[in-house]
Structure 1
Amino acid sequence: MPVSSQVPVFKLYGEERAWPTPDLIHCESIAERSRQHGWEIRAHLHSDLVQVLYIQSGHAQVEIDGQVCRLDQAAVQVVPALCVHAFHFSEDIQGHVLTLAQPLVEHLGVALEQPPLSGSARYPAAAHRARLDVLFDTLAHEYGHHEVGRELMLQSLISTLLVWLARQALADQQGEAQLSDRGRKHLRRFQALIEQHYRSHQSLDWYASQMGLSVAHLNSLCRRLAGQSGLQVIHQRLLLEAKRNLVYTSMTIAQVADSLGFSEAAYFSRFFRRGAGISPKDFRSQR
């Protein structure tokens, strides 16, 4: 069953009530909500909301669609709609969470050639702290005070943020363009093949043969562009699906193992523990 039909959908984390204000905007400090939940925001998604987290200081562990990253420096994290995400924050976390309704994002992004909030993205912000601190502090003030021109000011500030995000995305693209286009095409082809065949446990030799590459060349591409060996890329996709099934379905561990092409549940458990550092049973109970 698709993940989106299994994951709880909230307006804001921990709330199932209607949008709390008539605005298409919600702004609060990271601590304001995460403190209520022991500094941990469990895996969930938003069907029609986009979030921008500005982490000023402290530490954050960010998980988006199974990919985990630890942030120890100032950063801006974009969380698009329909994206399964979770966070764990240190108790000294400082920063803001800006939540925007999708229609507002689309309206304000019309003038930009490339919408900056259409996908998950993370941008280092240490070099931009002065500007971003003022921007988010002003956003928080305008959101919390109903002064003349509030709506126009909020939209202007959000437009400024969208432009900043679009520029960061463009800079990233220009940096990526310096890498081999052919190598990236090969990597995308490899990932597409994995998506089709990861349940059949094909060898790296098989994938390389399908792509007309040597195993050494494929491994080199994966290490350079994905930071992992080819076999690790395959195993990470299999592990991600295993985690999704353990958390968001009621299948037994044996059924999960069978659905992922493992001949024995014990083999699956060894594979999972090797990749996740924990048994499938313990992983499920912790989540």
Structure 2
Amino acid sequence: MTKAVINSVPVFKLYGETAAWPTPDLIHCESIAERSRLHDWQIKPHRHGDLVQVLYVGAGLAELEVEGQVNRVSQASLQVVPALSVHGFGFSEDVQGYILSLAQPLVDMLSTALESTPLATAACYELGSQRGDVNALFESIAQEYSEPALGREVMLQSLISALLVWVARRSQAVDGNEAQIPDRGREHLQRFTHLLEIHYRAHRPIEFYASELGISAAHLNALCRRLAGQSALQLINQRLLLEAKRSLVYTAMTVNQVSDSLGFSEPAYFSRFFKRGCGITPKAFRLQR
């Protein structure tokens, strides 16, 4: 695929959406049919700047293309789609299964605990006799995601950790599995995302991240725009905004306390920042949840 073609591939948060991540969660789970039926069962090639996806096909037919590698699925399978990978899918109308989208910061955190990065490489695994176990895992994730209850976030992270362990063990067991080596630009962007997760509360300037990566600020901005469809500053602001939303929804902190926890010099500045990103004030956002 030529550079010109790559640059023309749209970057979505979720397929067909250009708005910011729709919930304070670092997780999104839906059935394959829920979104693909809206697009005539064809998901055209696109990328996600900071999302990793795991697609579970339990029944039906699917054609899964990730970075030019096409897998035609007619039995239960699991497809891993790393962040920034160009991918497109086609499904039969009787398809059953789920697609799990995970924000890169959550993947990084869980992978660190696992001391492995099982979702960093595109791969398609036939489930065979393990279909029942994987199906039960995805159904539990989907149910927990759709029905907020006490300990929801902890339970979701536990279930997703179990999924990561399954993928890690399966990838280890597959002989001759061809890893797709990311290009240098993607490596820089993935490292930027990792650094951002560590430093976003400190409001570090773009030059700080560029220096840590050993590249210029202009180069970092160009990479972010080319591969994630946004500037480095927009990605920094979105991470702050996501954490602000999560704090407003899932904690009892006051707006002033949220502002302080996120490193803002004063609550008024935080409120202006939040309203620019969400269109409403932090207080109004909390009241509508």
Cα deviation for residue 2 of structure 1 reads 5.3
Q: Over alpha carbons, which structure has the higher Rg?
A: 1
Secondary structure at 2:112 match in 1: coil
Tell me if structure 2 keeps the 8 A contact 1:4–1:82.
Answer: no
Aligned to 1:105: 107
Query: Partner amino acid for 2:173?
Result: A
Higher relative contact order structure (alpha carbons within 8 Å, sequence separation ≥ 6):
2
Cα deviation for residue 6 of structure 1 reads 2.1
Q: Give me the whole-angstrom Cα distance separating, in 1, the residues matched to 2:51 and 2:12.
A: 9
Aligned to 1:77: 79
Tell me if structure 1 keeps the 8 A contact 2:50–2:84.
Answer: yes
- Unaligned runs of at least 5 residues, structure 2: 182-289
Q: Which one is further off, 110-119 or 71-80?
A: 110-119
Aligned to 2:142: 140
Matching of residue 151 in structure 1 with residue 153 in structure 2:
yes
Aligned to 2:54: 52
The residue correspondences of 1:260-275 to structure 2 (distance < 5 A) are none
Cα deviation for residue 20 of structure 1 reads 1.3
Identify the match of residue 130 of structure 1 among 129, 132, 135: 132
Tell me if structure 1 keeps the 8 A contact 2:80–2:121.
Answer: yes
Q: Give me the whole-angstrom Cα distance separating, in 1, the residues matched to 2:120 and 2:4.
A: 20
Q: Give me the whole-angstrom Cα distance separating, in 2, the residues matched to 1:57 and 1:150.
A: 28
Q: Please, what TM-score do these two structures have when normalized by structure 2? A: 0.59
Secondary structure at 1:107 match in 2: helix
Aligned to 2:44: 42
Cα deviation for residue 114 of structure 1 reads 2.6
Secondary structure at 1:165 match in 2: helix
Q: Which runs of 4+ in 1 moved over 3 A?
A: 1-4
Q: Give me the whole-angstrom Cα distance separating, in 1, the residues matched to 2:47 and 2:128.
A: 28
Secondary structure at 1:115 match in 2: coil
Query: Partner amino acid for 2:20?
Result: A
Cα deviation for residue 93 of structure 1 reads 0.1
The residue correspondences of 1:158-173 to structure 2 (distance < 5 A) are 158-172=160-174
Secondary structure at 1:140 match in 2: helix
Cα deviation for residue 4 of structure 1 reads 4.4
Query: Partner amino acid for 2:87?
Result: H
Tell me if structure 1 keeps the 8 A contact 2:28–2:102.
Answer: yes
- Please provide the CA RMSD for this pair: 1.7
- Unaligned runs of at least 5 residues, structure 1: 178-183, 189-287
Identify the match of residue 87 of structure 1 among 86, 89, 105: 89
Secondary structure at 2:139 match in 1: helix
Secondary structure at 2:133 match in 1: helix
Aligned to 1:218: none
Q: Give me the whole-angstrom Cα distance separating, in 1, the residues matched to 2:133 and 2:149.
A: 23
Aligned to 2:225: none
Q: Give me the whole-angstrom Cα distance separating, in 2, the residues matched to 1:170 and 1:102.
A: 22
Cα deviation for residue 19 of structure 1 reads 0.9
Aligned-residue sequence identity (percent) comes to: 58
Tell me if structure 2 keeps the 8 A contact 1:49–1:99.
Answer: yes
Distance 1:4 1:112, change over 3 A: farther
Q: Give me the whole-angstrom Cα distance separating, in 1, the residues matched to 2:150 and 2:71.
A: 41
Query: Partner amino acid for 1:104?
Result: L
- CA deviations over 1:241-287 (Å, ceiling 9, x no partner): xxxxxxxxxxxxxxxxxxxxxxxxxxxxxxxxxxxxxxxxxxxxxxx
Aligned to 1:210: none
Q: Give me the whole-angstrom Cα distance separating, in 2, the residues matched to 1:78 and 1:100.
A: 11
The residue correspondences of 1:2-21 to structure 2 (distance < 5 A) are 3-21=5-23
Tell me if structure 1 keeps the 8 A contact 2:71–2:124.
Answer: no
